[in-house]
Amino acid sequence: MHNKTIAQIARDLAAGEYSSVEITQSLLTRIEQLDKTYNSFITVTAEQALAQAKAADEQRAAGNANAWTGVPMAHKDIFCTNGVLTSCASKMLSNFVAPYDATVVSNFNQAGAVSLGKLNMDEFAMGSSNESSYYGGVKNPWDIERVPGGSSGGSAAAVAARLVPGATATDTGGSIRQPAAFCGITGLKPTYGRVSRWGMIAFASSLDQGGTMTRTAEDSAMMLNVMASFDPKDSTCVDQDIPDYTATLNNSIEGLTIGLPKEYFRDDLSAEMQQQVRDAIAEFEKMGAKVKEISLPNTHLAIPAYYVVAPAECSANLSRMDGVRFGHRCENPQDINDLYKRSRGEGFGEEVKRRIMVGAYALSAGFYDAYYKQAQQVRRLIKNDFVEAFKEVDVIMSPTTPSPAFKAGEKTSDPVAMYLEDIFTIALNLAGLPGMSIPCGQVAAEGGNPLPVGLQLIGNYFDEARLLNLGHQFQQATDWHQQAPADLA
């Protein structure tokens, strides 16, 4: 049963092929057997999951079921979950049991979904490899010596390893799309404001957005149908009509214009990876789409702008983690300054400390105009590039990452090299656009199994339905999304 997609499970439950309790127990057993290797879960909520599954079966028997009733999934440990440890993979929150549900969690509960637990991540969502977690790094199911990507590496690895059919995730600079590419699954980051951030612990408030990790675009559409909602508790949530994202999956893409940004097909992108991406784009041409080269001239400014804006916002958001109200508190503080210093020094990991310090510097007196204000002005230029591009094309496509999954420890001593892993994804967060990564091929890896390659689809604002339609059509014509790691096939 672990090879079933969300859509297949929903159909099977409706047909009475098995019960929610049966598939929930099957996946819990699989997690217990395999996750010692992958470390994708921080907390497994077996007792709660089985109770939810039993309630779902009773609801179905009473004739009150919907598509999600009894379907198992899991949440990234950045979403507050009532009565369950919500740690953000940090020592700082290693004792924090959330007293309420995030809106995203509440939406899935109301839909009847079964939550199997909370998934590992980079600490406070800061990282590109899932090596900064207080609970240890997550392993990539395609090669356990390699990283799954970050920060949503636990979500990506759990879906790739067939421990869960789908998982929630968040994306601040590529944290859904990059791990989806590294793990050979489908990852969707919606438009900023499409999914409520209430109860999602903040890293960089103007960049963070909740999204989906699944094996197929159809499953992502099913998840987004639940996640997308207007929430008056989130002032950045947009009150706009929400379509049924599954309704247009089978629409023809004939006549669509695909833009290929010349800045994303760089000389340092390996020939093998570039070929896989171009072969995938050729599949869309076979379906009747047209291809046009475009330019996004301010692309080279995305990373420097991001690594001023994001750390600045992170330093402000994480100031609440002070050892006073919740979270880690140092032993026997001498005074209030000692309490703050030691609680934060002990509670935060190295990457989080690095970003807090950079952010505090960028916002400090005398440097605000030189750094933060200028980065926001550059951000507007990047957004304008996309606005102009979408006057000529319907969708933009590119590689998701500049390389396949790298080995654990390979980039931890070089933060800049780590940051460059998000070079193709960061601009979308600065602009607030939706983006999706789908598996589109594999490349050879030295001394190991082939590794997945991701194709990034970039849409105009609130055009997630088009991205899902394109992803679904590609997955009807190819089988890359059905490929599994060698040990799990």
Do residues 412 and 129 touch, judged by C-beta distance below 8 A? yes
Active-site annotation holds for 26: no
Dihedral class, residue 174 (left if φ above 0, else alpha if ψ from -120 to 50, else beta): left
Active-site annotation holds for 129: no
Find the helix or strand (DSSP H, E) in which 9 lies. Answer: helix 6-15
How would you classify the pairing of strands 451-458 and 435-443?
antiparallel
Q: Annotated catalytic residue: which of 20, 151, 196, 220? A: 151
Cα–Cα distance measured from residue 143 to residue 449, given in angstroms and rounded to the nearest whole number: 7
Do residues 104 and 120 touch, judged by C-beta distance below 8 A? no
- Burial status of residue 436 (CB atoms within 10 A of its CB: 0-12, 13-18, 19 or more): buried
Q: Supply φ then ψ for residue 117, to 5 degrees.
A: 150, -165
Token pair 């406070």: residue = 124
Q: How many CB atoms lie within 10 A of CB 3?
A: 12
Q: CA nearest 20: which of 12, 29, 32?
A: 12
Q: CA nearest 271: which of 402, 440, 179, 422?
A: 402
Overall residue count recorded for the chain in this entry: 489
Q: Annotated catalytic residue: which of 76, 118, 139, 411? A: 76
- Burial status of residue 277 (CB atoms within 10 A of its CB: 0-12, 13-18, 19 or more): buried
Cα–Cα distance measured from residue 323 to residue 94, given in angstroms and rounded to the nearest whole number: 12
Burial 60-74 (b: 16+ CB within 10 A, else e): beeeebebbbbbbbb
Token pair 């998982």: residue = 167
Q: Report how far apart, in Å, the C-alpha atoms of 81 and of each of 67, 105, 301, 327, 451 are.
A: 22, 7, 37, 16, 34
Active-site annotation holds for 413: no
Q: Annotated catalytic residue: which of 19, 106, 132, 175? A: 175
Burial 323-346 (b: 16+ CB within 10 A, else e): beebbbbbeeeeeeeebbebbbee
Cα–Cα distance measured from residue 228 to residue 210, given in angstroms and rounded to the nearest whole number: 9
Cα–Cα distance measured from residue 344 to residue 330, given in angstroms and rounded to the nearest whole number: 8
Which residues are catalytically annotated? 76, 151, 175
